[in-house]
Structure 1
Amino acid sequence: MTEEAALISATLLLFAAVIVPWITRRWPLWARASWRLAIFIILTYLVFRAVGSPFAPAFDPQRPGERIWQQLIEIGWWLMAAQCAIGLARLFVVFETKPRESRIVSDLLAGLIHLLTLFAVINFVFAVPIGGLLATSGVIAIVLGLALQSSLSDVFSGIAVGIERPYSPGDLVWVEGGIEGRVIQVNWRSTHIATMNRDVAIVPNSVMAKARLVNHSMPTTVRGVSITVRLAANELPDRCMAVLTAAVKTCMLMSDTPPPSVARTELLGDGVAYDISFSIPSVEVLVAARTELLGHVQTHLRHAGIALAVPGVPIQSRLEIPNAATLLRESDWFGVLAEADRNLLAEHLIEVWFAAGDKLMKQGDDPQVLFVLASGAVEISSDTPSLSRVIFRLGPGGSLGAIGMITGTPYAATATALTPVTAYCLDRKGVSDAIASRPDLVKSLEVLARRGQEMQRRDVVAHQSDHPDTPELFLSKLRSFLRKISESSDNEDHRRNHRR
C-alpha cells in the first residue's frame, strides 16, 4: 500500500469512527469497546504505512499541504487511542450497571486520559517540548487549587463516595443535622436528597463525607421502631401487658418478622414505662404505622379502663370501662339509632368470651349472630383452597356479622381471636324479643338501611363480591328480615296464648 493510499484509507476510517458512535451508542459497553479497539488496530497499521511510528512520525517537509494532512491523521490516531483507553477503563473499572455515582470515577479517568493525550499531541505531533508547559501548568494548578479549595473538597469527596459507595440513588438515608430522605442524585459536587417534607436537600459531598450517616436501605429496607407508653402505677402489670399486646396485634402495617414485642422498661411512683418495639417494611410507612399503633393503644386502654400516667401524680383513678350501651352508641352500625332503641337492644346483648385462636365465625357458615367487641383483637381472613389472606383486624368497639345476619348471606370470611376476647353478641332471638317489647323498633332499624351500602363494604364478614347491594335492595332484605322476626314473634305469642 502506497503512502497516499494509506492516508486516504486512514482519513476514511477516522470519518467512520466519528459517525459510527451515533449508531453504536445503544450497544453494550463491551461491544463498543471492541469496535473502537478494532478500528484503532487498523488505524495503527495505516499510520505506520503513512508516517511511521506515532511516537516518532516522519512528516514530509517538502509538501506543506501533505504535512498538515499527516499531522491531522496523527492527531486522530492519538484521539482514537484515548477513546480506546477510556472504553477499556470503563469496561474493567466502572461497570455501567452500577449506580449513578460510579460515573464520577469514570469521568475522572476520562479527564486524565484526555489530558495525557493533549500533552502527547503537543510533544509528538508538533514537536514542542512539554517540560516548560508542565512546570507552568503545575503553578497554575496550585493557584487554582487554593482558589477552589472548597469546591475541590466536594469533588474529591464525591470521588470517595463513588469508590466506597456508602449509599446509592434510591437509598433511604439519615444525615447528621436532621436531614432524612431518599437519595435521588449524586454528582461531582453534591448529593440530592428528597426529604419527607417533599422538598430536596442539596448537601455538599464534603459534608456527606464528614457527617454521621445511617443508610436505612442497607442491608434491607426493614426499619425498627420503638414507642414508649407510660401507664398509671396502680394498674396490674400483667393486665397492662395484655392490653398493649392486643393493641399491637390489631395493627396491620407492622412487619411480622421480627415479631413486635412489649416490655416494661421503667418503674416510678408516677407511672410505669412500656416500650413497644416493632419493624416496618419501609420508612415510607413510618408515620402511618405510628399513627395506627397509637390509635389502637388509645382505644384498647380506654376500653380496658387503664389511664395514662401523669408526671408528678403518683396514683391515677381508673377510667370508666364502656358498657354495652356505650359500645352501641359509639358503633358505626348502631350509632344512628335513637338512644331508647339502642338501650333496648343493649338489654338483649349477651357477654361472651373467647380464648386466643377461637373462631368467632367461620367462612360459609349460616349467619345467626353479630358481635360487638369489648376487648381483645380479632383477625378477619378470607380462606381459599390455596391461600389464606388477612383482610384486616378489629379491636374494641368494632362490630362484625351485622350485615350477614340481616341479609341472610353466609359469612364470606373467618373471624379468629388473636388474643383473649370479650364481646357482646346479639342473635336473632334477641332482636325478636326487642321488637316484641317495642314494635316501633322496626321503623328505627330501617334507618340502618340508609347506611347499608357503606356498611356492607366495611363489614367484610358478609361481603361476597366487589359490587355491594344497592340501598334499595339492602332495604328490601332488611324489611324481609324484620318481617320474619315479627312473624316469629307473633307465632311465639300465639303459641303461648294457645297453651293458656
Structure 2
Amino acid sequence: MFDLLVSPLVQVIALGVASIIIWHLQGRGRPNARLVVQIAFFLAMTAILAGNRISPFKFEPIQEVGGTLVAAKLLWWVHLAWSTIGFIRIYIVLDGRPIEARLLQDLFVAGVYLGVTLSILSFVFGIAIGTLVATSGVIAIILGLALQSTLNDVFSGVALTLGRPYGIGDWIILADGVEGRVVENTWRSTHILTPANNIVVLPNSVLAKVGLTNITRPDETHLQILTFRVRPTHPPSFIAEAMRRAMIGANHIVHDPAPGVALMGLDAIAVEIELQYRVSRPSDRNAARNELIDLVHRQCTAMDLSLAPPATATVVMENALAWPGTAETVKDLLRANWIFADLKLEELEKLDAAARPRQYRSGDRVLAGAETSLMIVRSGVVAAHRNGAEVTRLAPGAIFAQVEGIDGKAISFEALTEVEVYEIDGPTLVPLLEDYPAIQNHLSRHLAGLAGRAPAAGNGSVDGKHAFVRKVHGILGR
C-alpha cells in the first residue's frame, strides 16, 4: 500500500483529480484564483514527471506500462490545455479588449483543444495522426463546400474582430444609408439598433465588403450641414455674420470647435449658405437641425433678410429682390412665444406701446442693477449664467427677466454679440400678471427653467401661482 502511495504516477493522478475538485469548488466568480490553482497543480505534476524521467511526449504501449501511466499522461495534457486557456482569457481581460473579443478568445480556445486532442491521440494512444489529418482534410473540404456561406460569415467576423473597425456601442453608418448603434456581434452576424428602434441583422461577410463610417471614434461629435438660400439684399459678408450670430444662440450644437458659415455660391436671386456645425451625439441631430432652422428664420426676420426660392424653382416672383423681410415688432415676438400666446390683441398692443428698445455690446451685462423688467431679444444672443456657469443661450425671440428669489438663486445675463432687446418695465408688467394668473405662472416656470431647475410637480397652488407677483410687488414697493 505504501509503495502505491509513493508511486509518482499515482501522485500525478491524485494531483490532477484534486485540482479538478478544487477548481469546481472555487466557482466561476474567481477566475484569477482558478488560474493560480491550475498553474500550481500543473507545475507540481510536471515536476513529478520530470523528476522521474517520465516524458508525456513519448508514446509507450499500454500493454507494457499499464493504465496508470496512460491516466497520468492524460491528466497532464488536460491540465496543460486548461492552464493555457486560463492564460489566454486573463490576457484578453487585462489587455482591455472589448466584449466582441470573445470571438477571438473562442478561436484560441478551439485551437488549444484541437492541438491537445491530437497530442493525446499521438503520445498517449499511439494513433497515427498523419492519416487522421489527411482523412479529416477530405471531410473538411466537403463541409467547406456545403457551408461556404456560413464559413464566409465566420471568417469575415474573425477579420472584423481583428481589425476592430467598430465595437459594441459604436454608432456606424453604412454606405447604403443604414445606420445605428452596434448592440451585438456574433460568429455569423452583427446586430445594429437603428434610430427607428429596430434591430437590423447584417451578415459579417456583408459588413466586411461594404464601406462604413464609425462616428463614435474618436468621439461621437460629428459634423452636420444645413444649406439654405438668402436673397442678396445685403452684402454676403453681412449675411454670413448674421448667420454666425444666429448659430451662437443654439443650445443643441457644439461650440468648441466653433460652428462655421460657408458661402457656397452667389447669383442674381440668392446667396447660397452652408452652416457647418457639430453635435455631441447622433440623437442630437434632429434637435440641432430644428433649432438652427428656427434660429435662422428668426435671425432673417430680425436683420431684414429674406429667404430665397430654391435654384430649381420655375416661377420667378416679380420684384423678388425689392421686398426684404419686415422686422418683427414686440407684438409679433410676444404672440410667437407660448407664454403670451393667449393674450388679447389689445393687451399685446399695450405691451408693444410700452416696450423700449435697448442696445448692448458684446460682453455687456444685461439687466445689471435693474429692478423688475421683462426683456425680449430682438437680435443677437444673450447668455444666462448661474453661479458663474453658463446654463443656456437666448436667441432672437427669447424672453427673460431679472427677478431674484426664484429658487433662491439669481441669474445674470451677458451679451455674447451685439444685442438689441425690447424692455417692458415693472409697472406695465405687474397689472398684466395680476389679470392673467396663468401667464404669470408660465413665466415663473420659464424663469425657474432658466435657473437650471425643472418646475416642481403640483406647483399649482394659490401661493405658488402668485409667488412671482408678490416678489415683483416687493421690489416695486407696492
Q: Same fold (TM over 0.5)?
A: yes
Q: Give the deviation of 1:395 after TM superposition.
A: 2.0
Q: Distance in 1 between matches of 2:116 and 2:406?
A: 86
Q: Distance in 1 between matches of 2:288 and 2:406?
A: 36
**Corresponding residue for 2:414?**
416
Amino acid at match of 1:39: F
Q: Give the deviation of 1:366 after TM superposition.
A: 5.0
Query: CA separation of 1:341/1:37 partners in 2, compared to 1, >3 Å: closer, same or farther?
Result: closer
Asked if the contact 1:446–1:479 (Cα under 8 Å) also holds between the matched residues in 2, the reply is no
Deviation by residue 1:101-154 (Cα, 9 ceiling, x = unmatched): 222222212212211222222222222222221111111111112222222222
Query: CA separation of 1:139/1:321 partners in 2, compared to 1, >3 Å: closer, same or farther?
Result: same
Amino acid at match of 1:309: A
Q: Distance in 2 between matches of 1:169 and 1:477?
A: 50
Q: Give the deviation of 1:477 after TM superposition.
A: 6.4
Indicate the SS of the match to 1:351. strand
Q: Report the count of equivalent residues.
A: 465
Q: Distance in 1 between matches of 2:451 and 2:324?
A: 39
The residue correspondences of 1:37-52 to structure 2 (distance < 5 A) are 37-47=39-49, 52=54
Deviation by residue 1:374-396 (Cα, 9 ceiling, x = unmatched): 222111111x3xxx222222222
Query: CA separation of 1:280/1:481 partners in 2, compared to 1, >3 Å: closer, same or farther?
Result: closer
Structure number with bigger Rg: 1
Counterpart check, 1:330 vs 2:330: no
Indicate the SS of the match to 2:160. helix
Query: CA separation of 1:454/1:15 partners in 2, compared to 1, >3 Å: closer, same or farther?
Result: farther
**Corresponding residue for 1:290?**
289
Q: Give the deviation of 1:259 after TM superposition.
A: 0.8
Indicate the SS of the match to 1:124. helix
Q: Distance in 1 between matches of 2:297 and 2:350?
A: 29
**Corresponding residue for 1:372?**
376
Asked if the contact 1:51–1:58 (Cα under 8 Å) also holds between the matched residues in 2, the reply is no
Q: Distance in 2 between matches of 1:117 and 1:415?
A: 73
Deviation by residue 1:152-211 (Cα, 9 ceiling, x = unmatched): 222222222222222211222222222212222222222222222212222222222221
Deviation by residue 1:270-293 (Cα, 9 ceiling, x = unmatched): 321111111222223222222222
Asked if the contact 1:409–1:462 (Cα under 8 Å) also holds between the matched residues in 2, the reply is no
Indicate the SS of the match to 1:61. helix
Asked if the contact 2:372–2:472 (Cα under 8 Å) also holds between the matched residues in 1, the reply is no
Query: CA separation of 1:241/1:34 partners in 2, compared to 1, >3 Å: closer, same or farther?
Result: same
Counterpart check, 1:399 vs 2:399: yes
State percent identity of aligned pairs: 28
Query: CA separation of 1:481/1:196 partners in 2, compared to 1, >3 Å: closer, same or farther?
Result: closer
Q: Give the deviation of 1:45 after TM superposition.
A: 4.2
Counterpart check, 1:321 vs 2:327: yes
Q: Distance in 1 between matches of 2:437 and 2:300?
A: 32
Q: Distance in 2 between matches of 1:347 and 1:157?
A: 72
**Corresponding residue for 1:165?**
164
Q: Give the deviation of 1:240 after TM superposition.
A: 2.1
Bigger shift: residues 179-188 or 331-340: 331-340
**Corresponding residue for 2:109?**
110
Q: Give the deviation of 1:411 after TM superposition.
A: 8.3
Q: Distance in 2 between matches of 1:226 and 1:55?
A: 67
Q: Distance in 2 between matches of 1:323 and 1:108?
A: 71
Indicate the SS of the match to 1:253. coil
Q: Give the deviation of 1:431 after TM superposition.
A: 6.1
**Corresponding residue for 1:35?**
37
**Corresponding residue for 2:250?**
251
**Corresponding residue for 2:14?**
12
**Corresponding residue for 1:232?**
231
Bigger shift: residues 81-90 or 347-356: 81-90
The residue correspondences of 1:2-401 to structure 2 (distance < 5 A) are 2=3, 5-22=7-24, 23=26, 25-27=28-30, 29=32, 32-47=34-49, 52-58=54-60, 61=63, 67-91=66-90, 95=94, 97-311=96-310, 312=313, 313=316, 315-316=320-321, 317-362=323-368, 365-382=369-386, 384=387, 388-401=388-401
**Corresponding residue for 1:426?**
424
Q: Distance in 2 between matches of 1:178 and 1:464?
A: 38
Indicate the SS of the match to 1:322. coil
**Corresponding residue for 1:492?**
none
Query: CA separation of 1:190/1:479 partners in 2, compared to 1, >3 Å: closer, same or farther?
Result: closer
Asked if the contact 2:10–2:68 (Cα under 8 Å) also holds between the matched residues in 1, the reply is no
Query: CA separation of 1:220/1:483 partners in 2, compared to 1, >3 Å: closer, same or farther?
Result: closer
Deviation by residue 1:390-435 (Cα, 9 ceiling, x = unmatched): 2222222222227x39x99998111112222222212246569xxx
Asked if the contact 1:86–1:113 (Cα under 8 Å) also holds between the matched residues in 2, the reply is yes
Q: Distance in 1 between matches of 2:325 and 2:182?
A: 47
Amino acid at match of 2:353: E
Amino acid at match of 1:134: V
Q: Distance in 2 between matches of 1:17 and 1:268?
A: 83
Bigger shift: residues 254-263 or 7-16: 7-16
Asked if the contact 1:401–1:461 (Cα under 8 Å) also holds between the matched residues in 2, the reply is no
Q: Distance in 2 between matches of 1:132 and 1:474?
A: 91
The residue correspondences of 1:442-453 to structure 2 (distance < 5 A) are 442=431, 445-453=433-441
**Corresponding residue for 1:491?**
none
Q: With structure 1 as the length reference, what TM-score do the two structures score?
A: 0.82
Amino acid at match of 1:225: Q
Deviation by residue 1:341-379 (Cα, 9 ceiling, x = unmatched): 3212322221222222222113xx452432222222111
Q: Give the deviation of 1:319 after TM superposition.
A: 2.5
Amino acid at match of 1:318: P
Asked if the contact 1:453–1:470 (Cα under 8 Å) also holds between the matched residues in 2, the reply is no
